[in-house]
Each structure stands twice: as structure tokens, then as C-alpha cells.
């Protein structure tokens, strides 16, 4: 901030300081025109004049109002010069000091080893699950899966056994190498005991828990012609992980095929004559048609991907979390370190608490923005210009606003929870 000898530094700030000893003391001096600051030292008051004020006019006004014992024009002390530069006396420089603090905090943060290492580890953490899924995609449990079927209708058990045999013969082994690539499904039929259904379900559940069964299926007695009461027509699948079980999804096809065949037979309709009656037509999700930027010709719409629809928001959430943590964590560490080492006392001598905190928060946001640019590449830029595939401008703006507010909340919590740090004494507490 200052460079040169003491004499040269004092000469730069002119002779706008006057030491006065007069009747009336500081109270009289504060009401005089041309007086900017009055420091009361008891018998002597040190006055700093306002810009373009004449010391001779001040002396004449003093003589007119009271008795003057001494009037000395002097150069400001080094302490006074420091207060002028760093304290509240330097009017109009609040934003400049805030930006200086922000620049200093930002550079101190991004040059640390932790920040640089975090930039390399963050993509690994973000993509670790995807990498693991790709690496383990070929690792399939090919051990046989035994499924018990309790068919209370007496109509579907044999069809399930035959469907499993066809699957085991055609889909379990690789056609070229003969290697087993999928588990075989072994259907075990269990006679229903109508009077002991709860006990039978419990016994089958224990076999699943003990590993003797993979799952068991219970077919309701009225599954062929469901009425208004859906409970007797229910088909229930019981397993340890039933929600994501491949066997449950496979069972739906042979079950419904057999039910359709038997319903057609009961209606006296030959299945071969209405073979296309039950063909299912899917509604295919497509994107919007766009014009080629070079030729202006319509470009065929691209098929929408569920991975993009689900993966892009998940990546955005993880990216926001990484930005907030890597932006706010250095701020938290810096605040605690400055409090512990009493560096903040020096900083408060250079800026107000508001300027200090605002500078730190701006630096935290800038660091988070840098993390986002590194991890996200040019995706945000392409989204803002309309070329983004996953994001558009409003979501980008909302993400940035959320990150800023989150950093303010997380990073500013140590300051908000502490007493007002208006002086070094209150800051130490």
C-alpha cells in the first residue's frame, strides 16, 4: 500500500493536519466549517481538514470564537495515513476494497493443493458409479434360480414350467461358445393349502431367507376372470429384492400369454385367427425437428433417451453439490483460520465487516464457478446460446442463483452465528 521513506509518505498526504489547543475543546472544533475529523487527546485536539480547506480561515474562525493557546500545522502521522487508506476515511473505495479481498481470497483458494486435487477427484466421484456399472456389466450371476409357484387357480403352473424350460434351452448358453451367460430358472410347483395359506407363505419365505429358494409366486384363484374384487385375481411375487428382480419381469410374459390363450379358448376363438389382435404398439418418444444451420433443410428428429432425461438432472445436482462444497469449504476454513490466528483483526483495520464478508463470498462464488466450468466444460455456454442438448437458459440461471445463495448460507454461517464483529475486541469473542 505504501512505498518510500516516512518523510516522503507524509509529504504525499500534504499538510491538512492541525494540532490545536484552545478553550472549548473538541466540542467547539467539531462545529467549525472546514473540519473533517477531530481526534481528542485531552488538552490537545488533532484536526484533519476537509479537502480544499484553508488552515488560515480555520484559525481566524477560532480566534473569533474563543481563546487559542496553540495552533500548529503539521503532517499526518503514519498511523493516520494508514487509517485514511484502509479505514472508513477512504470514501468511495468500498467496492474496490471488496474486489481486492475477493481477488486475494480467490487466488489463495485456487492455488492450494486441495483445490487442484479436488478438480481431479471430482469427476471420478461423479462418474464412479457409472464406471462401476460399465465395468461390472458383464459380471452376471449365472447360478440357477429356483422359484416356487403356488397356483391356487390350477391354470398357470404347467405353462410356467414349460416357458422356463424353453428359456433355459434357448437363452441361457451362448450359441457360439456354449458358455453359460444367464441363470437358468427352475420352476418348483407347490400345492396350495387353502386352510393354511399364512403358514405356507411363512414357510416359503423362510426357504427364501435360507437361500434354498430365490423367490415364490402365489397365483390367485380367480386370475383367469378377474371381477370387481381384484384380491382373488392377484399374482404376488415374494423375494428379497422383488422390486428390481429380473425373474419377476420375465414371469409377466408367460403368465399373460397363457391367460390370453385360455381366455380366447373359453370364448371359442382360435388363437391363430386373431394372432395380430394383441399386438402392442408403443408410443416412441422423439425430439423436435430442427433445421440444418448450413443448408436450412429439416433434420430428422432424434430419439429421446431416458438416460439423458434422468442422467442430466442427476449430473447437474452432483455438479451443484461439488460447486457448493468446493466453493464454501475453503471459505469456512479461511474464516476459522483467520479467527484463530487473529488475522481478521488486521483485515478489519482495512475494511468494514460487510466489505470483508462480501469479498469472501464473491471469492467463494468465483471459485465455485471455476469448478463448474472445469467439470462441465462448455455445456453451460452451449445451453445459453441455444445449442445445449440437456439444459436451457432458465435452468442455468436458476442453478447459478441457487449456488450463490447456497454459498452465502453455508459460507456465511460462521459469521452470522458469531457476535457482530465491528471491532477487533468483539471479533476475538
Cell, residue 323: 460447486
- With pLDDT > 70 as the criterion, what percentage of the chain qualifies? 68
Give the burial class of 171: count Cβ atoms within 10 A of its Cβ; 0-12 exposed, 13-18 middle, 19 or more buried.
Answer: middle
In this structure, of 135-139, 343-347, 424-428, the range with the lowest mean pLDDT score is: 424-428
Residues facing residue 68 across a β-bridge: 22
Cell, residue 269: 376363438
State yes or no: pLDDT of 266 exceeds 90: no
Which position has the higher pLDDT, 405 or 268?
268
Domains parsed from the chain with CATH numbers: 6-86 (3.30.70), 145-278 (3.40.190), 306-428 (no CATH)
Under the banding of pLDDT at 50, 70 and 90, the label for residue 85 is: low
Report DSSP state, residue 423.
S
Q: Do 286 and 301 form a contact (C-beta atoms < 8 A)?
A: yes
In this structure, of 33-37, 408-412, 417-421, the range with the lowest mean pLDDT score is: 417-421
State yes or no: pLDDT of 185 exceeds 70: yes
296 CB neighbour count, 10 Å cutoff:
7
Place of cell 473538541: 26
Give the pLDDT score at 279: 75
- Cβ-Cβ contacts under 8 Å for 88 (sequence gap 6 or more): 352
Which position has the higher pLDDT, 345 or 118?
118
Residues facing residue 236 across a β-bridge: 218
Supply the Cα-derived Rg of the chain in whole angstroms.
40
In this structure, of 195-204, 216-225, 295-304, the range with the lowest mean pLDDT score is: 295-304
State yes or no: pLDDT of 350 exceeds 70: no
Give the pLDDT score at 160: 94
Give the pLDDT score at 84: 63
Cell, residue 260: 390370453
State yes or no: pLDDT of 22 exceeds 80: yes
Give the pLDDT score at 218: 95
Cell, residue 415: 459469521
State yes or no: pLDDT of 311 exceeds 80: no
In this structure, of 129-133, 199-203, 212-216, the range with the lowest mean pLDDT score is: 129-133
3-class state of residue 171 by DSSP: coil
Q: What is the mean pLDDT of residues 377-401?
A: 48
Cell, residue 43: 488538552
CA-CA distance, 352 to 358, in Å (whole number)? 10
Give the pLDDT score at 309: 72
Give the pLDDT score at 78: 65
Give the pLDDT score at 159: 94
CA-CA distance, 219 to 268, in Å (whole number)? 24
Which position has the higher pLDDT, 425 or 274?
274
Under the banding of pLDDT at 50, 70 and 90, the label for residue 398 is: low
Query: For 98, phi and psi rounded to 5 degrees?
Result: -60, -45
Q: Do 97 and 351 form a contact (C-beta atoms < 8 A)?
A: yes
Cell, residue 211: 437361500
Q: For the chain, how many residues are written?
A: 429
Cell, residue 235: 399374482
Report DSSP state, residue 180.
B
CA-CA distance, 191 to 172, in Å (whole number)? 28
* Per-residue pLDDT tens digits for 92-128: 446 777 787 778 777 877 777 777 777 777 667 666 7
Which position has the higher pLDDT, 164 or 344?
164
Amino acid at each position: 500500500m505504501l512505498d518510500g521513506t516516512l518523510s516522503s509518505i507524509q509529504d504525499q498526504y500534504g499538510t491538512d493536519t492541525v494540532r490545536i489547543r484552545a478553550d472549548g475543546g473538541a466540542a467547539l472544533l467539531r462545529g467549525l466549517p472546514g473540519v473533517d475529523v477531530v481526534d481528542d487527546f485531552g488538552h490537545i485536539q488533532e484536526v484533519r481538514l476537509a479537502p480544499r480547506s484553508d488552515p488560515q480561515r480555520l484559525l481566524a474562525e477560532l480566534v473569533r470564537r474563543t481563546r487559542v493557546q496553540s495552533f500548529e500545522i503539521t503532517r499526518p502521522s503514519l498511523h493516520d495515513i494508514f487509517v485514511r487508506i484502509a479505514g472508513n476515511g477512504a470514501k468511495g473505495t468500498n467496492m474496490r476494497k471488496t474486489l481486492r479481498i475477493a481477488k486475494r481470497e480467490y487466488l489463495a483458494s485456487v492455488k492450494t493443493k486441495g483445490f487442484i486435487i479436488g478438480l481431479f477427484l471430482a469427476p471420478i466421484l461423479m462418474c464412479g458409479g457409472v464406471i462401476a456399472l460399465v465395468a461390472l456389466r458383464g459380471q452376471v450371476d449365472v447360478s440357477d434360480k429356483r422359484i416356487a409357484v403356488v397356483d391356487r387357480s390350477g391354470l398357470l403352473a404347467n405353462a410356467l414350467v414349460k416357458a422356463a424350460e424353453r428359456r433355459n434351452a434357448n437363452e441361457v448358453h451362448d450359441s457360439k461358445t456354449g458358455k453359460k451367460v444367464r441363470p437358468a430358472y427352475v420352476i418348483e410347483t407347490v400345492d396350495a393349502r387353502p386352510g393354511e395359506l399364512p403358514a405356507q407363505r411363512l414357510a416359503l419365505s423362510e426357504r427364501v431367507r435360507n437361500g434354498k429358494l430365490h423367490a415364490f409366486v402365489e397365483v390367485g384363484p380367480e386370475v383367469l376372470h378377474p371381477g370387481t374384487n381384484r384380491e382373488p385375481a392377484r399374482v404376488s411375487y415374494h423375494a428379497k429384492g422383488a422390486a428390481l428382480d429380473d425373474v419377476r419381469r420375465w414371469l409377466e410374459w408367460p403368465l399373460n400369454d397363457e391367460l390370453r390363450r385360455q381366455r380366447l379358448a373359453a370364448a371359442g376363438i382360435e388363437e391363430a385367427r386373431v394372432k395380430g389382435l394383441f399386438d402392442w404398439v408403443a408410443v416412441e418418444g422423439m425430439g423436435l425437428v430442427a433445421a440444418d444451420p448450413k443448408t436450412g433443410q429439416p433434420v430428422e428428429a432424434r430419439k429421446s433417451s431416458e438416460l439423458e432425461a434422468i442422467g442430466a438432472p442427476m449430473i447437474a445436482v452432483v455438479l451443484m453439490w461439488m460447486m457448493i462444497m468446493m466453493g464454501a469449504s475453503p471459505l469456512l476454513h479461511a474464516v476459522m483460520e483467520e479467527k484463530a490466528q487473529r488475522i481478521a483483526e488486521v483485515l478489519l483495520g482495512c475494511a468494514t465487516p460487510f466489505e470483508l464478508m462480501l469479498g469472501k463470498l464473491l471469492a467463494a462464488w468465483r471459485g465455485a464457478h471455476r469448478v463448474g466450468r472445469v467439470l462441465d466444460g462448455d455445456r453451460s455456454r452451449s445451453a445459453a446460446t441455444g445449442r445445449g442438448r440437456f439444459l436451457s437458459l432458465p435452468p442455468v440461471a436458476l442453478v447459478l442463483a441457487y449456488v450463490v445463495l447456497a454459498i452465502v448460507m453455508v459460507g456465511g454461517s460462521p459469521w452470522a452465528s458469531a457476535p457482530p464483529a465491528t471491532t477487533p475486541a468483539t471479533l476475538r469473542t
